[in-house]
Chains A and B, each alone.
Chain A
């Protein structure tokens, strides 16, 4: 069942100010893949993600999820199958309590309240914060907020998870917990991040974007280990592939 789940063709987009953010992006992502999207600041990662969930629409080119093109008319459908985790959980947790936040999506699809509760519970259980259900969102710690934000998306039962910088501003322990959590998801995952070590751990495939174009698309291990390429794209090899700062020996992965 290895059908094309996301198809991006010659995507072009420029912001109202005139800046060309995407300049002909092409790729396909298959069912169950997890793909890291990597690039320097301003390379166009976030803009690309916004197109995948239909927050922005391309000036040129098209996107299809499954067989469905991402256009205004299909948005309700698209948003049920593609879930997006935003970079700042404070933007995603806009309701007062964790429960209401996670229930917001299912309620918008007018599910009966029992089904909503079932989904909320199972989503919170998956991310391991069921005990925070009635907590006020603003009182959560950074790691808890991130988990809650992921739960809000899981409650929509998406096939594809799109994440923008999921590990940003997390302490090492919360980051580790997030990585193990994401690893056990069977969804198709698209992760845009500067945390290359995490990309290396989670994604078998990586796409590097620079100036709104795909520079390279291939196996993560090869790409991230290519020092010259990484340098050229304003990036740096993942720490775990770099030499040991004390003795200089290379770690074997």
Chain B
């Protein structure tokens, strides 16, 4: 029950954020999608021990979040829910890889810990990148991008319908489960004997709804094809946004900037 409300809330808040009008929101969605893809590819292309090289990539989410006026709390909350899974797998690294890696005068970390920290950082950055994309773009414009990328219209329409009816069906399922909980004994969850009938009834109702949706589509001339509207034009600023970030990501990928800065500083100190 509570998880239904949370996910509904989660979708709602991201949708609301996507309605803002900031510099980032106004960037052409295609460019944002491409930037996100490139960013993700650059992140995961880093070797598992390359922790310091990854760090400059932190700039991207921070700058975009700040420019897009996104609140940190909901993004971080979402991250806290997803991260444990990644940590769960990553934690095996320190266990299995014990070769000493970083030797500082005062501390020695095994390679496993370094690669674990790298996985953790990658997890944080990739999760943020996806959330930032949807929070500044919204589902409608993502669908428009898919159209531009020539993804078949049928899939896009289907994706949009699923997205549209999630809130309707979560509410419906939520009502049913609540009504069930009120009449069942204190055990939590749906008891075994009712699995089929409860879910089955919901399923049948869903199929009836699909039928009604189909009828209402037909009444407005639907004949198996989906026609999306015109998409906005790509401006020079949009291309600059993409190429700017792109160049930065590539630079970060090929030059370990933190090590360079660090050696500069330690050199000066010496």
A and B touch in the complex (CB under 8 A): yes
Interface residues of A (CB under 8 A from B): 50, 53, 55, 75-76, 79-80, 83-84, 86, 88, 90-97, 100, 103-105, 107-110, 113, 116, 134, 136-139, 152-153, 156
Partner of B220, one of A79, A134, A138: A79
Contacts A/B (CB < 8 Å), 8 sampled: A75-B218, A88-B212, A91-B212, A96-B139, A96-B140, A104-B217, A108-B223, A108-B225
> A134–B164 Cα gap in the complex (Å)?
14
Which of A91, A108, A138 lies in contact with B227, CB distance below 8 A? A108
Which A residues are CB-close (under 8 A) to B222? 104, 108
Given contacts A95-B164, A96-B164, contact A104 B220 (CB under 8 A): yes
Closest to A88 in B: B212
- CB pair B140 A100 closer than 8 Å: yes
Of the residues B163, B168, B216, B229, contact of A113 by C-beta under 8 Å: B229
Given contacts A84-B216, A91-B209, A104-B220, 13 further A-B contacts (CB under 8 A): A55-B219, A79-B220, A83-B219, A84-B219, A91-B212, A91-B215, A91-B216, A94-B161, A94-B213, A107-B227, A138-B168, A153-B219, A153-B220
Does B3 belong to the interface (CB within 8 Å)?
Answer: no
Within the complex, which residue of B140, B168, B223 is in contact with A97, where a contact is CB–CB below 8 Å?
B140
Residues of A within 8 A of B223 (CB): 76, 108
Contacts of A84 in B (CB 8 A): 216, 219
Nearest CB on B from A52, distance (A):
10
C-alpha gap A95/B158 in the complex (Å): 10
Residues of A within 8 A of B230 (CB): 113
Taking CB atoms, residues of chain B closer than 8 Å to A116 are 229
Known contacts A95-B160, A97-B140, A100-B140: does B216 contact A80 (CB below 8 Å)?
A: no
Measured CA separation A50–B218 after assembly (Å): 11
Separation of A153 and B228 alpha carbons in the complex (Å): 18
- Over the window 132-162 of chain B, the binary record of Cβ atoms lying under 8 Å from chain A Cβ atoms (1 yes, 0 no) is 0000000110010000000000000000110
Closest Cβ neighbor of A113 among chain B residues = B230
| B178 within 8 A of partner (CB) | no
Q: CB within 8 A of B12: which of A76, A97, A139, A156?
A: A139
Is A55's CB under 8 angstroms from B167's CB?
no
* B221 contacts chain A at the CB level, 8 A cutoff: yes
Please report B residues at the A interface, Cβ cutoff 8 Å.
Answer: 12, 15, 19, 139-140, 143, 160-161, 163-165, 167-168, 209, 212-213, 215-223, 225, 227-230
- Contacts A97-B140, A100-B140 given: A91-B213 contact, CB under 8 Å? yes
Q: Is the CB of B216 within 8 A of A79?
A: no
Q: Are B217 and A94 in contact (CB under 8 A)?
A: yes
CA A55 – CA B218 in complex, angstroms?
A: 8
- Whether A110 lies near B164 (C-beta < 8 A) is no
Whether A105 lies near B220 (C-beta < 8 A) is yes
Cα of A104 to Cα of B222 in the assembled complex, Å: 8
CB closest chain-B residue, reference A156: B220
List B contacts of A83 (CB < 8 A): 219
Chain A nearest Cβ from B30, distance in angstroms: 18
Complex Cα distance, B15 from A139, in Å, reads 10
Task: Please pick, from A50, A80, A93, the residue contacting B221 in the complex, using a CB distance under 8 A.
Answer: A80
- The complex places the Cα of A76 from the Cα of B165 at a distance, in Å, of 27
What are the residues of chain A within 8 A of B140 when measuring CB–CB?
A: 96-97, 100, 136
The docked-state distance in angstroms from the alpha carbon of A124 to that of B164 is 20
B168, B221, B229: the one within 8 Å of A76 (CB): B221
List B contacts of A94 (CB < 8 A).
161, 164-165, 213, 216-217
Alpha-carbon separation in the docked complex, A190 to B12 (Å): 37
Most B-side CB within 10 Å, residue of A53, A104, A113: A104
A114 to chain B: closest residue by CB: B230
